[in-house]
Structure 1
Amino acid sequence: MHGPTTSGWLLVALCGSTGAYCLVRMRECSGRARGAAGGEALMGFGMAAMAVPAAVLAPPRWSWAVYAVVFGAAALRALWPALRSAHHLHHLVGSLAMVYMALAMATGGGHAGHASAGRPLLTGALLVYYTAYVLRSGVRLIPVPSPSPVPSASSAAGAATPALVGGSRPELTLACRLSMGIAMLAMLLTL
């Protein structure tokens, strides 16, 4: 997580902006969608905080325990909904991965590359999971041409411009999830 400065700042920007978008989306959603957006905002901001380069801000040793507690609580919150929804199962895996990385950083001295920073088998399993998630999400963003009827003059005149945030733009939500998956892969690679 605390690798080269440039890549660290890029992860901070990517995850921070994704977390901010999820907060905006959370304001415009309700019910389960609101909860999912809140969980994604927490994940985005947590990943941004963990990715701050150690050369700029070396976190105190106790901060890794705070990350583990916060994401452990997020994992407990996602546990019951995960039994009913694949997306909530992904939130559970993500929260547990954050707990794992926080504990690995705490035991590895807070710097990536230490031999004690993480278990290779668990890290490998998470890398496989997130690689599959990123590939699947990326494929879902590829536009699929569909035959569409020629709109009539009345339907074209009454068509509204879609909003830029919220549930009306599912491709933006998917792009944010994809970017957080890529960021998670980058963070796991530094363990």
Structure 2
Amino acid sequence: MHGPVSPGWLLVVLCAATGAYCLLRMRSAVEEQRRTAGGEALMGFGMAAMAVPAAVAAPPRWAWLGYAAVFGAAALRSLWAARTDRHHLHHLVGSFAMVYMAGVMVASPGHHGHGGSGTPLMTGVLLLYFAGYVLRSGARLLPVAAVGMPLGEGVRALGTGTRTVGWGDRPELARACRLSMGIAMLAMLVTL
């Protein structure tokens, strides 16, 4: 997770920006947006904090234990929520990946970014999952032929009328944020 400084800072900025956008989505009038935005904001800011280059600030052991505790609690919440909403299974896997990476850093604090610190099988399984997630999320962002009115212009059809949709309620932006976090998770897992 703590490899070269420049890519580390790019990850920090990407994840923090994604977390900030997810916080804005929590103010949405759309219930589905609000329901998942809090967990995604936590994930974005947590990933940003974990991606800070070790050359700048090497977290103490207790910080990694704190990450593991916070994301362990998030995993339990996602497990509970997955009973009624399948989307929370992805949050469960993401939270588990964060607990796993924090655990790797607790177990081998002197090997940040040098590989070989995590369990190769577990790291490989998580890499495969997130690679598939990134490919699927990227494919969902591809434009499709619209029938009738284009929804990508900030307008959503409501029965026979239309209304302007705020940029915080646009599903394609939420998907782009999820894609960004998936790519960041891949980058963080590769350096284990």
Relative to the length of structure 1, the TM-score reads 0.89
Is the CA contact 2:61–2:106 (under 8 Å) kept in the aligned structure 1? yes
2:115–2:191 CA contact under 8 A, matched in 1: no
Give 1:126 shift: 0.3
Inter-CA distance 76–32: structure 2 relative to 1 (3 Å threshold): farther
Partner of residue 8, structure 1: 8
Conservation of the 8 A alpha-carbon contact between 1:108 and 1:114: no
Amino acid at match of 2:58: A
Superposed CA deviations along residues 88-139 of structure 1, whole A, max 9, x for unmatched, are 0000000010000000011111512253x21000000000000000000000
From the superposition, tell whether residues 177 and 118 of structure 1 become closer, same or farther in structure 2 (CA, over 3 Å).
Answer: same
Q: What corresponds to 2:134 in structure 1?
A: 134
* d(CA) in 2 for partners of 1:89, 1:79: 7
In 1: Cα distance, 2:140 partner to 2:31 partner = 24
- Give the whole-Å Cα distance in 1 for the aligned partners of 2:2 and 2:29: 34
Sort the Cα spacing of 1:107 and 1:57 in 2 relative to 1 into closer, same or farther, 3 A.
same
1:163 aligns with 2:166: yes
Q: Within 2, Cα distance between the matches of 1:29 and 1:65? A: 36
Shift of 1:58: 1.1
| Aligned twin of 2:180 | 179
**Deviation of 1:33 (Å):** 3.6
Return the TM-score normalized by structure 2: 0.88
Letter in 1 for 2:51: A
Shift in Å at residue 61 of structure 1?
A: 1.5
Find the aligned partners of 1:114 and 1:61 in 2 and give their Cα distance. Answer: 19
Alignment partners' CA distance in 1, 2:148 and 2:115: 56
Displacement after TM superposition at 1:87 (Å): 1.1
Please report how far the alpha carbon of residue 24 of structure 1 lies from its aligned counterpart in structure 2 after TM superposition: 0.5
State the match for 1:92 in structure 2. 92
Give the equivalent residue in structure 2 for 1:152.
Answer: none
Q: Secondary structure of 1:171's partner? A: helix
Q: Show structure 1 runs of 4+ deviating over 6 A.
A: none
Contact residue 104 and residue 118 of structure 1 kept, 8 A: yes
User: Which has a greater percent of strand?
Assistant: 2
Task: Call closer, same or farther: CA 1:165–1:134 in 2, change over 3 Å.
Answer: same
In structure 1, stretches of 5+ residues that fail to align are: 150-154
- Structure 2: 5+ residue stretches without partners: 150-156
SS at match of 2:2: coil
Offset at residue 31 of structure 1 (A): 4.8
Compute the RMSD of aligned alpha carbons: 2.0
Cα offsets for 1:159-190 (capped at 9, x unmatched): 54431112xx0000000000000000000000
1:189 is aligned with what amino acid? V
Structure ID, larger Rg:
1
1:83 Cα shift? 2.7
The structural deviation recorded for 1:147 is 3.5
2:146 and 2:133 map into 1 onto residues whose CA distance is 25
What number of residue pairs does the alignment pair up? 182
Q: Deviations over 1:28-67 (max 9, x none)?
A: 2565542310000000000000000011111112110000
